[in-house]
């Protein structure tokens, strides 16, 4: 069976088949549904916290802890796509409500991450001095802590906005 479509047309059909272009068109027109996500951000934070503690308490299991934090970070990077907080460069219209939700969520998140960074800075220095860590162990601890803070930075806005604000019902 021979088709009259060219190769680029077939490739366009294949891309349309995935549904991603239709989803993008809905988001551009402001019709994209923003979901309240509560369980996924908590799961991401728990997995990341477990990996952080595993990597910091037992330096011999650093790679397992780093793997868990990396999985949590990957999950955390997907949360803003479907969560209630509209991204900064959103092509759809952003009204006052969306701006308020976004600003409250990011102020909360940046406060938590800044406090966590200060605690980590002094805590890692104290732990390295008391446990007499070699330099490579301290560098690994700093790396896993930085990845964990980035995980918090990507998942906490979704968690805060999902718990704090009730969804707007469709009329």
**Same domain, yes or no: 61 and 135:** yes
Backbone torsions φ then ψ of 97, nearest 5 degrees:
-60, -45
pLDDT for 25: 76
**Same domain, yes or no: 19 and 82:** no
**Same domain, yes or no: 14 and 81:** no
- Kindly report the number of other CB atoms within 10 A of residue 39's CB atom: 9
**Same domain, yes or no: 121 and 56:** yes
**Same domain, yes or no: 3 and 47:** no
- Total domains present in the chain: 2
Q: pLDDT of 57-111, one tens digit each?
A: 998 899 999 999 999 999 998 888 777 877 776 656 677 888 888 899 999 999 9
What six digits make up the tokens of 109?
């998140």
3-state DSSP percent of the chain in helix, strand and coil, to 5: 75, 0, 25
The answer as to whether 169 is a domain residue is: no
- Is there a contact between 155 and 45 (Cβ–Cβ < 8 Å)? yes
pLDDT for 53: 95
Of the two residues 27 and 170, the one the predictor is more confident about is 27
**Same domain, yes or no: 78 and 19:** no
Quick one: how many helices (H) and strands (E) in the chain? Answer: 6, 0
Q: pLDDT of 108-146, one tens digit each?
A: 999 999 999 999 999 999 999 998 989 999 999 999 999
Query: What's the domain range around 21?
Result: 1-32
**Same domain, yes or no: 42 and 19:** no
**Same domain, yes or no: 77 and 63:** yes
């Amino acid at each position: 069976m021979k088709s009259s479509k060219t190769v680029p047309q077939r490739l366009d059909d294949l891309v349309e088949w995935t549904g991603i272009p239709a989803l993008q068109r809905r988001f551009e027109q402001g019709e994209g549904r923003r979901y309240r996500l509560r369980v996924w951000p908590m799961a991401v934070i728990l997995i990341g916290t477990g990996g952080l503690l595993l990597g910091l308490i037992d330096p011999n299991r650093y790679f397992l802890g780093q793997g868990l934090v990396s999985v949590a970070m990957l999950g955390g990077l997907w949360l803003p796509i479907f969560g209630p907080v509209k991204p900064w460069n959103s092509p759809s219209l952003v009204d006052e409500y969306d701006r308020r939700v976004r600003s409250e969520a990011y102020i909360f998140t940046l406060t938590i991450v800044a406090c966590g960074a200060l605690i980590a800075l002094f805590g890692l220095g104290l732990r390295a001095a008391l446990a007499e860590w070699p330099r490579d162990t301290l560098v690994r601890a700093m790396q896993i802590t930085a990845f964990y803070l980035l995980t918090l930075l990507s998942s906490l806005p979704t968690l805060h906005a999902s718990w704090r604000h009730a969804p707007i019902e469709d009329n």
